[in-house]
Structure 1
Amino acid sequence: MDLLLDSADLSAIAHALEHYPIKGVTTNPTMLSTIEGGAVLSHLRRIREMIGEERELHIQVMGCDESIMIKEAHYLVSQLGEKTCIAVPVTECGLKVIKQLTSEGIAVTGTTVFSTMQGILAMLSGARYIAVFYDRMLNLDIDAKRVIKELSGFLWTNTSTTQVLAASFRNISEVTSAYANGAGVCTVRPELLSTGLAMPSISQAVDDFSRDWKSVFGEKTLLEL
């Protein structure tokens, strides 16, 4: 079970690296379109410097045909390292790209997955991750939990190295539901991670323990006893 950060914001990434057990960072075209001055590649290089060579960086190709997407993938990996996962939309064109890139040993995330069949096709084409868009599926009255459960079951049965990567969450309940139904990886926005630790009951429990300790030992720590 792994956790990715869904953000291209440098300050949010820095904060997450310090506090959370993130395996890597996912970006999408919408995030990258907001980068000041359009300096996308230099921004991605900065993210790579921050997360190091051992963590994954997911980036979606934007070409409209197979040859351009493959060239984009080669360029991104050459510039950002082998731990760069190339996100490819799971369409007819995308499936051909996924097969080609995986045959070259490039890690691919089959993205914009809204159905079990899409995920199966991505898995059979060699994708390392199947990016299931949880909240967007709910908005279309698609049973996201069922799709994740079916895909994770197929992957387990076929002993595939592919993992279900759940994305597009509205709240923490959706994240925990995705994990519970078999997602091997979830990518979560920074504000949702913070929300998961912001329950008043957590602060109350910490305060209660602190009060009881101080009533006996004052400001002493365990090092002073």
Structure 2
Amino acid sequence: MKIFLDTADLGEIRRAADAGLIDGVTTNPSLMAKVSGDRDPADLFLDICAAVDGPVSAEVVAVEKDAMVSEGRRLAKLADNIVVKLPLTEEGLRACRALTSEGIRTNVTLCFSPTQAAFAAKAGATYISPFVGRLDDIAGEGMQLIAQIRQIYDNYGFDTQILTASIRHPQHVVEAMLIGSDCGTLPPKVLYQLLKHPLTDKGLDAFLADWKTLGKDL
């Protein structure tokens, strides 16, 4: 499963990219607002695209099809690895179809049902972003949605990649991998939780303590 970092924080992106931990980045207007300050959003997108060797999702803020298409075209021209992020609305699917016909990659976001995911695939979306954590928040079963989408896409040969989003903890990542999600996007906190295990830390401490008794350097 490809791992994307869900942030617009350049420091976090560069840290994870330098360690080879991520395959791409996803952003949204809320994440951009947290870090952009007075910067032109286009400049920030350019820096993010330069920092990671993989797709970078950049979201439109228009709500009508023609305006979404116009914004999407401008975003796609910024860098070759830009993926235009669109909301899962009727207008968003119209825009998805139009942009896809022009060879522009798309990420259809805010998906909460298997039928929404099917329509996004029929519209030619490159990625579909089902929000598992937000479904869990309302006593739904977010990972069940991923399993349903996986089966539907496999049943009908859709090429759209499942990008599990709104990941809240490492178990979401494990379950997404077991189900067969193509990608998962997660915040920096969860990314580094995936690396940590108390037995690893304990074992390393023991190894170093034993080596220290030798009183020698390598």
- 2:77 is matched with 78
1:37 aligns with 2:35: no
> How big is the alpha-carbon RMSD for the aligned residues of Structure 1 and Structure 2?
1.7
Local SS of the residue matching 2:38 = helix
Q: How far apart in 1 are the matches of 2:20 and 2:198?
A: 20
Count of residues in correspondence between the two structures:
217
- 1:223 is matched with none
Task: Kindly state the Cα deviation for residue 217 of structure 1 after the two structures are TM-superposed.
Answer: 8.5
Judge conservation of contact 1:171–1:192 (CA < 8 Å) in 2. Answer: yes
Q: How far apart in 1 are the matches of 2:140 and 2:85?
A: 22
Matched ranges for 1:1-225 at <5 A: 1-34=1-34, 35-51=36-52, 54-81=53-80, 83-213=81-211, 215=213, 218-220=216-218
Identity over aligned pairs, percent: 29
Task: Kindly state the Cα deviation for residue 197 of structure 1 after the two structures are TM-superposed.
Answer: 2.2
Q: How far apart in 2 are the matches of 1:10 and 1:195?
A: 20
Task: Kindly state the Cα deviation for residue 208 of structure 1 after the two structures are TM-superposed.
Answer: 2.5
TM-score (norm 1): 0.90
Judge conservation of contact 1:135–1:170 (CA < 8 Å) in 2. Answer: yes
Give unpaired runs (5+ residues) of structure 1. 221-225
Task: Kindly state the Cα deviation for residue 17 of structure 1 after the two structures are TM-superposed.
Answer: 0.8
Give unpaired runs (5+ residues) of structure 2. none
Q: Which amino acid aligns with 2:45?
A: L
Judge conservation of contact 2:63–2:92 (CA < 8 Å) in 1. Answer: no
Deviates more, 1:61-70 or 1:206-215: 206-215
Q: Which amino acid aligns with 1:68?
A: A
TM-score (norm 2): 0.93
Q: How far apart in 2 are the matches of 1:160 and 1:214?
A: 57
Judge conservation of contact 2:113–2:145 (CA < 8 Å) in 1. Answer: yes
Judge conservation of contact 1:152–1:163 (CA < 8 Å) in 2. Answer: no
